[in-house]
Amino acid sequence: MNNPLLVPFDTAPFSKIKNEHFSPAIKHFIKETKSEIDNITHNNQNPTFNNTIVALDNSGKELDRVSSIFFNLNSAETNDEIQKIAQEVSPLLSDFKNDLLLNENLFKRVKQVYDHRGSLLLNEEQKMLLEKQYKGFSRNGANLSNIDQETLREIDSQLSQLKLSFGENVLAETNDFQMQITDKEELSGLPEGVIEMAAQTAKEKELEGWVFTLDYPSYVPFVTYADHRELRKKITIAFGKRAFKNNEFDNQATILEIVKLRYKRAQLLGYKSHAHFVLEERMAKTPEKVFDFLNELLEKAKPAAKNEFDQLKAFANELDGLKKLEKWDGAYYAEKLKQKLFDLDDEQLKPYFKLDNVTEGVFYIAHKLYDLNFKEVFDIDKYHEDIKTYRVTDKNNHLIALFYADFHPRSGKRGGAWMTSFKPQYKNEVLNVRPHISNVCNFTKPTESKPSLLSFNEVTTLFHEFGHGLHGMLANTTYKGLSGTNVSWDFVELPSQVLENWCYEKEALELFAKHYKTGEVIPMELIEKIKTSATFHEGMQTLRQLSFGLLDMAWHGNDPSEVNDVKEFESQSFSSTQLYPDVKENCMSTAFSHIFQGGYSSGYYSYKWAEVLDADAFAYFKENGIFNKEIASKFKDTVLSQGGTLDPLDLYVKFRGKKPNPEALLKRAGLMK
């Protein structure tokens, strides 16, 4: 009982947990959950909704909690030891999941309840839980022969390890690169704050001068502002060839193995491809519908993107006599053109977006919309000193959630931004158990002379992840399997993307966009510039997103058996969306963590899909006022609190009163008048 994970706890006891506690705890709770499953299967009574379906939903709570704590640390605060433990426990968890889904007696009981569902007096949420559980078995091998089930187990075990290896390789390659500059002239064009941050990084690494890394807060400003073209080229190529160097961290073989195993798995289960398997349970339903959706947007966006690219090329030629625009020139000249067209540059905006103010701003917006209150508390354990913890309450001071904010990059943290949960919401006989939600991002760190000042892109990222956070915090369902973000992946981005819209509205910006030195509210002229520049290069941005969605579908919507060259396959997939000349040393797929490590395989299109929903949903707010309480309550009651209790389109129609209109997105993007 010296293991803090084996005694009951409410908030995760981070300060007491040692790495060696995880493996024994996960093994212990796998055993305990198996015992809970045995109690269901050995129940002598006839299967009922309560003794089988609810009992199954209630099983494994401790295992889920310990696993979620461990895997978030593996993403946000990892080290060699944690990565070794991940390689050890992932196959165990994969085997356990298969033991569960291939448990013949358990499936018989679930199937018996499912077959009699017409005579049961179930509400909508109960019907959905039953449907989800039945499909969880039937779609994951319960109807296969014993030999095929063994093959499935083998595939799943291999996939769990391959996904981990993929992520470890990307992190190792990201951490491996650093660009040291000792000549001050080579910093020309870079904003003062970026230079100061690079000096601080050099100091931390005990090096002279300035150090730039492949972490976004370092990499993105460098390629956007540095006048030194050769250095922009150097860091761009380094970023683009992560895990594509034929070294120990190369991901090419890993990718080919992953896609071939996913295809084999889908075939085993009776599906044409991995995408056919995945999409059956998404709003899109079929790969054909996804391809139609992506290609329809491509048709609208490509002419605009081509015009924007030609304009950018002409501008670079006019400004610097540049004859050929390369990938390391794109962000640099786009920023210069944006400054020329709108007299707006991100450095003008940054002083108004101090991280603390933006955080308070998003909290206040959540208060105005949903009556939530956020109070920083200091009695909750955390896994790193950078993290802030908050108690979230409603207008009656009832606990709604605990919220963890982890906002700065460090060597043990993977890139990007995400939301996770340390404890789910669900209801039992006595309590509405409230969730513990975390947002993890990689924003510019404070320096000795400046607080953390965000670029406008980082502001929208914070709002995006907080939108996911609200989906978790406001969850109000009976069953944990349907709670919060347990929704189809092409619906899960609606709460996150819709909240980004408030970043562009005067009424919202004036609440938090205040100069960090003077406290002056962001001037109206800057707000107007933000709004008018919102669709700047929207064609190119849309094309970029579509290229990722099409690459994902190319990997997963077809038979990959004959694919042997990752780079060549990727180039073919990009042919319809390519604007910049190819860089032979670079490969997107080898660091495409969303689809090869995260859960977005056959689902990257969902960002664009959800944009259709979010543009249509926000149009409803705009018509009635962006802080309209009635519309906000409707959104909370039909979308944010309902998790996966209904078909997502039904939830959306309940909110909006009609199906989403794709024209709202095209109009907002300036791709349609």
- Note the pLDDT tens digit of each residue in 399-417: 999 999 999 999 899 889 9
Q: Do residues 552 and 603 lie in contact, with contact meaning Cβ atoms separated by under 8 Å?
A: yes
Using CA atoms, how far residue 71 sits from 59, 291, 295, 593, in Å, is 20, 33, 36, 15
For residue 1, pLDDT beyond 70? no
Domain that holds residue 201: 177-240
Whole-number Å distance between alpha carbons of 412 and 13: 20
In the structure, what pLDDT confidence band is assigned to residue 374 with cuts at 50, 70 and 90? very high
* Residue 663 falls inside a structural domain: yes
Q: Which of 118, 143, 168 is where one domain is finished?
A: 143
323 and 201 within one domain = no
546 and 524 within one domain = no
3-class secondary-structure state, position 453: strand
Tokens encoding 387: 């993290």
Q: Do residues 402 and 392 lie in contact, with contact meaning Cβ atoms separated by under 8 Å?
A: yes
* Residue 245 falls inside a structural domain: no
**Cα first-last separation, the chain:** 66
Question: pTM for this one?
Answer: 0.89
Q: Do residues 109 and 46 lie in contact, with contact meaning Cβ atoms separated by under 8 Å?
A: no
Q: Do residues 627 and 672 lie in contact, with contact meaning Cβ atoms separated by under 8 Å?
A: no
Using CA atoms, how far residue 512 sits from 2, 11, 204, 364, in Å, is 46, 30, 32, 9
* Residue 167 falls inside a structural domain: no
Tokens encoding 92: 């165990």
* Residue 318 falls inside a structural domain: yes
Q: Which of 534, 553, 574 is where one domain is finished?
A: 534
**Structurally, how many domains does the chain consist of?**
4
Give the length of the chain. Answer: 673
Which residue's entry shows tokens 């299109």?
605
- Note the pLDDT tens digit of each residue in 444-484: 889 888 999 999 999 999 999 999 999 999 999 999 999 99
Whole-number Å distance between alpha carbons of 465 and 495: 9
305 and 273 within one domain = yes
* Residue 265 falls inside a structural domain: yes
How far, in whole angstroms, is CA 671 from its chain's centroid?
26
For strand 179-181 and strand 210-212, is the pairing parallel, antiparallel, or unpaired? antiparallel
Tokens encoding 579: 């604007």
The radius of gyration computed from the CA coordinates of the chain, to the nearest angstrom, equals: 25
571 and 530 within one domain = no
- Note the pLDDT tens digit of each residue in 601-655: 999 999 999 999 999 999 999 999 999 999 999 999 999 999 999 999 999 999 9
- Note the pLDDT tens digit of each residue in 518-543: 999 999 999 999 988 989 999 999 99
In the structure, what pLDDT confidence band is assigned to residue 489 with cuts at 50, 70 and 90? confident
Q: For the domain that residue 453 is a member of, what is the CATH number?
A: 1.10.1370.40
Burial of 4 (0-12, 13-18, 19+ CB in 10 A): middle
What pLDDT was estimated at residue 123? 96
429 and 334 within one domain = no
Mean pLDDT to the nearest integer, 651-670:
89
Mean pLDDT to the nearest integer, 333-347:
92
Q: What is the number of alpha carbons within 13 Å of residue 215 lying toward its C-beta?
A: 25
3-class secondary-structure state, position 464: helix
Q: Which of 124, 143, 162 is where one domain is finished?
A: 143
Tokens encoding 117: 């569902």
114 and 57 within one domain = yes
- Note the pLDDT tens digit of each residue in 200-214: 999 999 999 999 999
The percent of the chain in helix, strand and coil, each rounded to the nearest 5, is 60, 5, 35
* Residue 170 falls inside a structural domain: no
For residue 672, pLDDT beyond 80? no
Active site residues: 465
For residue 673, pLDDT beyond 70? no
* Residue 161 falls inside a structural domain: no
Q: Do residues 355 and 407 lie in contact, with contact meaning Cβ atoms separated by under 8 Å?
A: yes
439 and 295 within one domain = no
Phi, psi of 586 (to 5 degrees): -105, 150
Q: For the domain that residue 614 is a member of, what is the CATH number?
A: 1.10.1370.10
Mean pLDDT to the nearest integer, 10-26:
97
666 and 622 within one domain = yes
Q: For the domain that residue 64 is a member of, what is the CATH number?
A: 1.20.1050.40
Using CA atoms, how far residue 659 sits from 173, 286, 623, 624, 662, in Å, is 44, 19, 17, 18, 10
513 and 376 within one domain = yes
412 and 289 within one domain = no
* Residue 160 falls inside a structural domain: no
Contacts of 495 (CB under 8 A, 6+ apart): 467, 468, 470, 471, 639, 640
672 and 578 within one domain = yes
Give the DSSP per-residue string, 109-171. Answer: HHHHHHHTGGGS---HHHHHHHHHHHHHHHTTTTTS-HHHHHHHHHHHHHHHHHHHHHHHHHH
355 and 295 within one domain = no
Q: Do residues 49 and 122 lie in contact, with contact meaning Cβ atoms separated by under 8 Å?
A: yes
Mean pLDDT to the nearest integer, 561-584:
97
Mean per-residue pLDDT over the chain, rounded = 95
Tokens encoding 107: 């499936």
